[in-house]
Amino acid sequence: MVKRRTKREGTKIPCDSKVNYFLFYHTARLAHNKMKWRNRKHAANSH
The C-alpha angle 27, 16, 8, rounded to 5 degrees, equals 100
The model's confidence at residue 5, banded by pLDDT at 50, 70 and 90, is: low
CA distance 43 to 34: 14
- Burial of residue 22 (CB within 10 Å: 0-12, 13-18, 19+) is exposed
d(CA 9, CA 38): 37
pTM exceeds cut of 0.85: no
Query: Mean pLDDT, to the nearest integer, of 23-46?
Result: 77
In the chain, domain spans: 13-46
DSSP-assigned letter for residue 1: -
Report which DSSP code applies to 14.
-
What's the whole-number mean pLDDT along residues 16-39? 80
